[in-house]
Amino acid sequence: MGLGVGMMLGAGVFVSTGSIAAGYTGPSIIIAFAIAGLSAFLSSFVYAEFAVDLPFAGGAYNFILCSLGEFFAW
């Protein structure tokens, strides 16, 4: 349920950002999206490194379980 809500809110944020960027910004939006893409790419390295350290499957449940605890994982 949390992932579903996060996806809906994330999609809304991206849609509103796109419409505002189209109306009020110039070519700098390309640089902003490049920086956002680079940061998302680098965060995938963090997740991959953490998944390798776990001796079992590196799914989202296991990631949250080991980093935040069982309550947040459920």
**Would the pLDDT of 55 be above 70?**
no
pLDDT tens, 10-39?
A: 666 667 777 777 777 777 878 878 888 888
User: How many folded domains does the chain comprise?
Assistant: 1
Please compute the mean of the pLDDT values over residues 42-71 and round it to a whole number: 74
- Domain span at residue 41 reads 2-73
Give the pLDDT of residue 5: 67
Cα dihedral 18, 23, 24, 27, rounded to 10, equals 70
27 or 6: which leads in pLDDT? 27
CB-based contact 73:64 (threshold 8 Å): yes
